[in-house]
């Protein structure tokens, strides 16, 4: 058996060896460890790179926003002319919707044609033709327009915009390349057969 004296002496010897061993090793300070570690350097570089990338994206978005865009008419070219069909197919005092050109083709009591834009002149909502009431209605703010596109009830400030119409060989064609603004209906806006 080991006596208590021998056991205590052995422990003292072990403690002394640990203390001597620790003095030989250089224990780095905590601040040196954090700032010089490869992981810390990597994270710092990553954060800087992400910051630069975010700034580059903001600059790119600002440039894209400020750069003038191309007009739809420049892209479409010959696709602006939409063939509606023979003039005889459209009865007097009727309205026909054309999805492709986003317009209504109206044939007035005089027999003349008008291609009316679907956009309300108030805030740009799509107007709907109500056949029972014989008028265009805006579902957003209750503006109403007659068959010629004139304002019946406000808040719309002016008549519906219109497109020019070409009638060749009794075939009705609408040029949707440009909408023409107007205050009210006038006879010179009609296209007669």
Render 27-86 in DSSP notation, one character per residue.
Answer: PPPHHHHHHH-HHHHHHHHHHHHHHHHHHHHHHHHHHHHHSPPPPHHHHHGGGGEEEEEE
Q: What is the distance between the alpha carbons of residues 107 and 193, in angstroms, rounded to a whole number?
A: 11
Query: Domain 73-189, what fold?
Result: Rieske Iron-sulfur Protein (2.102.10)
> Does residue 73 surpass a pLDDT of 50?
no
Average pLDDT over residues 77-81: 64
Tell me if 172 sits within 8 A of 189, measured CB to CB.
no
Which of these ranges, 20-29, 57-66, 79-88, 144-153, has the smallest mean pLDDT? 20-29
As given in the structure block, the two tokens for residue 83 are 């063939």
How many CB atoms lie under 10 A from the CB of residue 48? 10
Query: 105-119 as b/e, with b when 16 or more CB fall inside 10 Å?
Result: bbbbeeebbbbbbbb
Confidence of residue 51 (pLDDT cuts 50, 70, 90): very high
Q: What is the distance between the alpha carbons of residues 100 and 58, in angstroms, rounded to a whole number?
A: 36
As given in the structure block, the two tokens for residue 56 are 């580059």
Q: Tell me what pLDDT residue 76 has.
A: 46
Q: Which residue has the higher pLDDT, 157 or 77?
A: 157
Residues 6+ apart with CB under 8 A from 45: none
Q: Tell me what pLDDT residue 16 has.
A: 53
């Amino acid at each position: 058996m080991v006596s208590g004296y021998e056991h205590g002496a052995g422990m003292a010897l072990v403690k002394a060896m640990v203390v001597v061993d620790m003095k030989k090793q250089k224990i780095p300070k905590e601040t040196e460890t954090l700032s010089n570690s490869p992981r810390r350097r990597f994270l710092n570089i990553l954060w800087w790179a992400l910051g630069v990338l975010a700034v580059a994206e903001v600059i790119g978005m600002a440039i894209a926003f400020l750069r003038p865009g191309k007009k739809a008419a420049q892209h479409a070219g010959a696709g602006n002319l939409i063939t509606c069909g023979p003039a005889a197919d459209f009865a007097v005092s009727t309205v026909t919707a054309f999805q492709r050109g986003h317009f209504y083709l109206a044939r007035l009591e005089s027999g003349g044609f008008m291609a009316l834009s679907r956009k309300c002149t108030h805030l740009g909502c799509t107007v709907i033709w109500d056949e029972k009431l014989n008028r265009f209605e805006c579902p957003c703010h209750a503006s109403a327009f007659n068959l010629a596109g004139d304002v019946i009830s406000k808040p719309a400030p002016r008549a519906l915009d219109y497109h020019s119409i070409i009638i060749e060989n009794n075939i009705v064609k609408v040029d949707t390349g440009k909408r023409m603004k107007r205050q009210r209906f006038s006879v010179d806006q009609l296209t007669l057969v």
